[in-house]
């Protein structure tokens, strides 16, 4: 989390964002003390582990900006992706949620297995059942149930990785962004 927050402050102007950190009843809450009193950082301490979806929605309700970002704490910013993402978004009304191409810790783009198509029974069987352990089934699953993306340009996919989800707060209306019935 410290690396993520430090990289965000290093690459994105402080005036361009507010950061909401939600502690979902961790055993040791001291890890957030570093951020107490820092301008544009808000801390939320849940008294119980409410699950990921509910905790995220609590943080989103506190947000005041037009755009919201759900970000995994293991993400590291190497640059400021927001100007490019927002320009793309504003130029194409088909976009509901947007994210950059993510890279692993060695700098390799995370393409294979990161952009699945909309869920289906066939997809579930090839990815989540015992069939997934059979190499030919895994190969078929990747071939038929993943969007084709590259390392350059803009790609429209059914699902983007949940590690970086940028969206307009108005996208969901009065509904919570994440379905709280899923407790992870």
Written as tens digits, the pLDDT of the chain (184 aa) is 999 999 999 999 999 999 999 999 998 888 999 999 999 999 999 999 999 999 999 999 999 999 999 999 999 999 999 999 999 988 998 999 999 999 999 999 988 778 888 888 887 777 778 887 888 877 877 777 777 788 888 888 988 888 999 999 888 888 999 999 988 7
Q: Tell me the sheet residues that pair with 41.
A: 19
CB 162 within 8 A of CB 70: yes
CB 100 within 8 A of CB 155: no
Instruction: Tell me the whole-structure pTM to 2 decimals.
Output: 0.86
């Amino acid at each position: 989390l410290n690396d993520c927050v430090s990289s965000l402050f290093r690459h994105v102007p402080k005036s361009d964002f507010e950061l909401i950190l939600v502690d979902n009843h961790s055993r040791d809450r001291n890890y957030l003390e570093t951020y107490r009193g820092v301008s544009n950082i808000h801390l939320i301490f849940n008294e119980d582990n409410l699950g990921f979806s509910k905790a995220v929605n609590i943080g989103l309700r506190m947000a005041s900006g037009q755009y919201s970002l759900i970000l995994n704490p293991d993400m590291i910013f190497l640059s400021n992706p927001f100007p490019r993402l927002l320009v793309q978004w504003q130029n194409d009304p088909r976009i509901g949620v947007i994210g950059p191409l993510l890279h692993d810790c060695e700098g390799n783009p995370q393409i294979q297995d990161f952009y699945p198509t909309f869920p289906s029974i066939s997809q579930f069987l090839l990815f989540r059942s015992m069939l997934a352990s059979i190499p030919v089934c895994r190969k078929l699953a990747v071939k038929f149930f993943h969007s084709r993306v590259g390392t350059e340009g803009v790609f429209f996919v059914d699902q983007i990785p949940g590690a970086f989800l940028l969206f307009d707060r108005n996208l969901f209306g009065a509904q919570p962004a994440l379905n709280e019935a899923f407790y992870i």
